[in-house]
């Protein structure tokens, strides 16, 4: 099949500078152009987009600029016979580093010192409070690109890493893999629990009151995947009740996180505004993936990361 246009939908502005992103396709034989809503598509068009649009189903191939394609209707793509690909595979380092950031901060209280810095306060915490992450147990729920990126880095810090996934294939740095049915056993002894699964019917609400009760009361929850995997009201209750010690959160049920959310006010909650993947070369990482697939598409080969 041929591609006459690589259409970059303007919704990619949510994550990358559009101009630099379009320019990243300069070396391709296929012309890339920025398109907005109201554009019509033909089978000779390939589309890269952050958000779904019904008219994309008229194109020849659609690429979701995110790893999480939960907003895209995969059934509709299958029914229309239009391949859909996603951006999994490029976030191990970026999101892995964010997760390590949360853990080191909770352990060594950087977030607390920063809060006190605003008042020029030379703060002296309880002697018992700071700890090192080395030797602490981390449970990574979901061992794909994100989960492996987190596990590898935690292992390098001397942490004891276990994980949860449906298949039992071994993962470097992960000493034991639990089935999702044994989630409670997997999280019970962990000082940190990191969520790195996609948002699906099976993972929605995977973390609620029973899981927070099961976790150690000095444990921290990290969610770098999708908001709805955690029941946010139950999380607030668990933090209030001291069922867990704190949370590092990049994703939320509603984004942007509403101003009146109680989550803003906990000292032991670190909030990043869905920036797990945000770096100055994110546009290049996504463009590399898309360019590889343009080559495959033109050569009639299977597309990488095909999800429908
Ligand atoms: P992958 O597909 O590479 O990995 C997903 C992992 O989850 C696999 O190991 C899979 O293993 C496991 N999994 C799937 N379903 C279940 C389940 N029901 N129970 C337990 N494990 C399960 O995806 P990525 O790592 O690339 O991304 C994961 C998610 O993270 C994305 O879907 C997206 O929502 C989010 N994300 C967030 C970012 C951010 O900016 N904060 C950036 C990138 C991604 P198995 O099949 O063996 O179960
Ligand atoms: C969005 C970052 C993904 O799924 O959510 C991430 O790849 C993208 C701000």
Is the preceding omega at residue 98 within 30 degrees of 0, hence cis?
A: no
Whether residue 111 is predicted with pLDDT greater than 90 in this model: the reply is: yes
In a mutational test of the pocket of ligand 2, which residue from 274, 275, 286 has the highest number of ligand atoms less than 8 Å from its CB?
274
Q: pLDDT grade, residue 1 (50/70/90)?
A: confident
Can you name the residues that pair with 6 across neighbouring β-strands? Answer: 32, 46
Condensed to tens digits (0 to 9), the pLDDT of residues 237-280 reads 999 999 999 999 999 999 999 999 999 999 999 999 999 999 99
Q: How far is the CA of 14 from the centre of ligand 2 (A)?
A: 9
From residue 158, give the alpha-carbon distance in Å to each of 136, 191, 283: 8, 14, 32
Ligand at shortest distance from the CA of 171: 1
Tell me the mean pLDDT in the region 55-83. Answer: 98
Condensed to tens digits (0 to 9), the pLDDT of residues 281-298 reads 999 999 999 999 999 999
- Please work out whether the CB of residue 67 comes within 6 Å of at least one atom of ligand 2: yes
Q: How far is the CA of 146 from the centre of ligand 1 (A)?
A: 7
Ligand 2, atom nearest to 66 Cα: 7
Ligand 2, atom nearest to 86 Cα: 7
Mean pLDDT for the chain overall: 98
- Please work out whether the CB of residue 148 comes within 6 Å of at least one atom of ligand 2: no
Tell me the mean pLDDT in the region 54-76. Answer: 98
Condensed to tens digits (0 to 9), the pLDDT of residues 38-63 reads 999 999 999 999 999 999 999 999 99
Q: How far is the CA of 64 from the centre of ligand 2 (A)?
A: 10
Distance of CA 259 to the CA centre of its chain: 22
Ligand at shortest distance from the CA of 144: 1
Look at residues 231, 271, 277 and name the one whose alpha carbon lies nearest to residue 249: 271
Tell me the mean pLDDT in the region 119-145. Answer: 98
- Please work out whether the CB of residue 246 comes within 6 Å of at least one atom of ligand 1: no
- Please work out whether the CB of residue 88 comes within 6 Å of at least one atom of ligand 1: yes
- Please work out whether the CB of residue 16 comes within 6 Å of at least one atom of ligand 2: no
Whether residue 168 is predicted with pLDDT greater than 90 in this model: the reply is: no
Condensed to tens digits (0 to 9), the pLDDT of residues 178-217 reads 999 999 999 999 999 999 999 999 999 999 999 999 999 9
Q: ipTM of the predicted structure?
A: 0.99
**What's the pLDDT at 164?**
98
pTM: 0.98
Q: Which helix (H) or strand (E) holds 18?
A: helix 18-23
Q: What is the chain's Cα-based Rg?
A: 21
- Please work out whether the CB of residue 274 comes within 6 Å of at least one atom of ligand 2: yes
**What's the pLDDT at 83?**
98
Is the preceding omega at residue 222 within 30 degrees of 0, hence cis?
A: no
Whether residue 103 is predicted with pLDDT greater than 90 in this model: the reply is: yes
Ligand at shortest distance from the CA of 194: 1
| Orientation angle between helical segments 92-108 and 145-156, nearest 10 degrees | 50
Q: Which helix (H) or strand (E) holds 249?
A: strand 246-249
């Amino acid at each position: 099949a041929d591609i006459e246009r690589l259409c970059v939908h303007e919704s990619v502005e949510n994550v990358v500078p559009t101009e630099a992103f379009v320019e990243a396709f300069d070396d391709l034989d296929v012309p890339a152009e920025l398109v907005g809503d109201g554009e019509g598509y033909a089978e000779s068009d390939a589309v890269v987009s952050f958000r779904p649009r019904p008219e994309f189903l008229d194109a020849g191939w659609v690429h979701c600029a995110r790893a999480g394609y939960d907003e895209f209707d995969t059934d509709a793509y299958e029914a229309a016979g239009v391949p859909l690909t996603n951006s999994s595979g490029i976030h191990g380092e970026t999101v892995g580093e964010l997760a390590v950031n949360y853990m080191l901060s909770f352990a060594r209280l950087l977030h607390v010192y920063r809060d006190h810095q605003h008042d020029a306060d030379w703060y002296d915490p309880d002697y018992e409070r700071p700890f090192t992450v080395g030797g602490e147990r981390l449970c990574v729920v979901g061992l794909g690109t994100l989960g492996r990126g987190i596990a590898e880095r935690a292992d390098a810090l001397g942490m004891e890493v276990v994980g949860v996934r449906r298949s039992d294939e071994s993962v470097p740095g992960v000493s034991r893999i639990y089935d999702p049915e044994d989630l409670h056993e997997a999280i019970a002894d962990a000082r940190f629990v990191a969520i790195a699964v996609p948002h699906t019917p099976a993972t929605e609400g995977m973390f609620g009151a029973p899981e927070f009760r099961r976790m150690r009361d000095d444990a921290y929850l990290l969610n770098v995947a999708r908001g709805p995997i955690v029941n946010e009201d139950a999380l607030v209750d668990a933090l209030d009740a001291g069922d867990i010690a704190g949370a590092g959160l990049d994703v939320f049920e509603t984004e942007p996180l509403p101003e009146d959310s109680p989550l803003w006010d906990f000292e032991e909650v670190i909030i990043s505004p869905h920036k797990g993947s945000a770096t100055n070369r994110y546009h290049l990482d996504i463009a590399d993936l898309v360019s590889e697939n343009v080559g495959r598409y033109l050569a009639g080969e299977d597309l990488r990361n095909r999800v429908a």
